[in-house]
Amino acid sequence: MDESAAEQRRALKRIPWGARLFAGLLVLVMAVHTVIIGIWVAPRTPVQDEIGSDTVRSYVLPWFEQNWSIFAPNPRRVAVTFEVRAMIEDPETGEETVTEWVDMVDGEDQIVWNNPAPPRTSKIARRTTDNLNSARSPMNDDQLNQLQADYVETPIAQLREDLLSSDGGAAAAQVDAYMSMDEVAVSLATGMAHHAWEGEIIHVQYRTTHRPAPSYAQREDMTVDDTDRGTREYGWRAPAELTDQQIELFEPYARQAGDLG
């Protein structure tokens, strides 16, 4: 036995036995915690089924929330747009005009460009498109068509009913996920409209596009801006109600995202 081992033994003798029990319990708690985190992070396994995914979920969320399938199994390879337009009434003539589309992601791209520490405003519209795309993915054709209908006089709550009346497709929770995303999209469109166009906002509309990054083999022939775009349309919506303060504080972002100068 070397010197330090003998020293350790002597030091351990001075520690009460309860300390070992205490430390043992801590190790046990740590092991259980780690196993639960491991189960949460892993794909679905028989172990998770056995413990119950709700049990695992209720332990992990929200404080230990984590997801490590980042850029996996395949990395992000799609560029998107989030475009908005509005129907504007001229307060003097009462004439109603439909504006051009403004892509807010294009402005967000400019925020990233040459900025080694870009602010999170570079993701507001981008992530909204991503979230809209996930929200619509469980929908059937009938429901997808319904999204293109206008809800301007009819309250938007009716869209939820109409989506739910479809056979199959997205279930109630999934429809609710879309309804929240619609609310996000409409409020962004409204905030944008206040700064992009003069006049009273009658309705707003949003649409998204997606286009793939060129494959590695095509990298010298084209960029992500040259590939074909798919468009996803949504109907006209009543604008969100915003306070004067909200509109005013939204301006710097609106100017960047809409490239309004």
9 binds other proteins (CB under 8 A): yes
Binding positions for other proteins, 129-168, rule CB under 8 A: 131
DSSP state of 237: E
Q: Rounded to the nearest 10 degrees, how much is the dihedral formed by the CA atoms of 210, 192, 102, 225?
A: -40
Beta bridge partners, 95, equal none
With binding defined as CB under 8 A, does residue 229 bind other proteins? no
**Distances from the Cα of 261 to the Cα of 79, 195, 252, 254, 255, angstroms:** 24, 11, 10, 10, 6
The residue among 65 and 198 lying less far from other proteins, judged by its C-beta, is 65
Name which of residues 70 to 129 contact other proteins (CB under 8 A): 70-77, 79, 109, 112-124, 126-128
Smallest separation, CB 93 to other proteins (Å):
31
Q: What are the backbone angles phi and psi of residue 132, rounded to the nearest 5°?
A: -65, -45
Of 10-69, binders to other proteins (CB under 8 A) are: 11-12, 15-16, 19-20, 22-23, 26-27, 29-30, 33-34, 37-38, 41-42, 61-69
**Dihedral angle sign, alpha carbons of residues 186, 188, 191, 193:** negative
For residue 212, the surrounding DSSP H or E stretch is: strand 200-212
Can you tell me whether residue 199 is helix, strand or coil?
coil
Q: Which is nearer to other proteins, 145 or 157 (CB)?
A: 157
- Binding mask of the shown chain, residues 194 to 223, with x at each position contacting other proteins by CB under 8 A: -------------------xx-x--xx--x
Task: State the nearest-atom distance from the C-beta of 180 to other proteins, in Å.
Answer: 4
255 touching other proteins, by CB under 8 A: no
